Structure 1
């Protein structure tokens, strides 16, 4: 290492040189300055190399703002397999296992609305309402024309006695319920709207139990 100290090309940390041009963005995202990002690149390169990965290339893609899945060049079918497994765990009542897999999917690909929605459903089932709402809002942001996140957001709002928000989310769901939406979506929206109407006619005294 000392012998290479005077040679910048030889002494550049594995991964740090690849991402140095965009390390500022990565540093801002994780709260590090350029020197600390360079050190992180060195450590990452060493660790990735021990796993047989090209640490420089991976870190460079991370520094350029790519997600972990993209940076690792994860094949699309891997996420598809994880997604299918998550659904199977959910179907048999293992919400905890499904949540773990959906979290992994969101980490590998943070631009797919289905993964965020799946995580939101698991969080809702586990009673983590604020986190579930965040996941559904992320799904809605990623796929603006999709009705499903708004349906879940409406249910959450009703559960928390937030009548105006529930009505707003239901309206957003209705406006996105096209021909490609499962019939179960408008049916569930109608059920939730009936609950809202009952609450309105009863002066807000009739609500689903928490």
Structure 2
């Protein structure tokens, strides 16, 4: 996905099988993700438009982001300054216990650019397979790339923390999702516009030849 900012994370690809027999492949390297998803049409969300914090928000791409359980901070589940912000807390004292993203279409590939993420502290569950967004021995916060592909389309993913006593914030500055066999949704009214342009072209041709 060349439209992403180049990732700073090291190469790391893992395999895991979900309960439905799906194979989920994880990526911390953008180039490897690009190669694995060549030919997939992606819906892109650069988080350009601000969205006020709420328990449930709908992103510009149609993804519904819901904070589940626990408490809320003033910047949890919001989009501001071109960044999606949220947090998770293992015991729910300072943030949500989990965050669920529901996609507008079943997806087989998702890519994210994360910001200032500490190692091993925020995880995502895909079809029963749990994986840290960033796996590294270095505990300092870093920017990087996280993505996955799955052999069975999924309609949602869940963000949590594997550390029950930690309050973990995270931010994303780009999102892309798609499906190997799905068409990217067209903007409303685009088919009518294309039909109109085609009719104008046909009329112009008729005038030239008449």
Give TM-score scaled by structure 1 length: 0.21
Larger relative contact order (Cα-Cα within 8 Å, sequence gap ≥ 6) = 2
Which has the larger helix fraction?
Answer: 1
- The structure with the larger Rg is 1
Which has the larger strand fraction?
Answer: 2
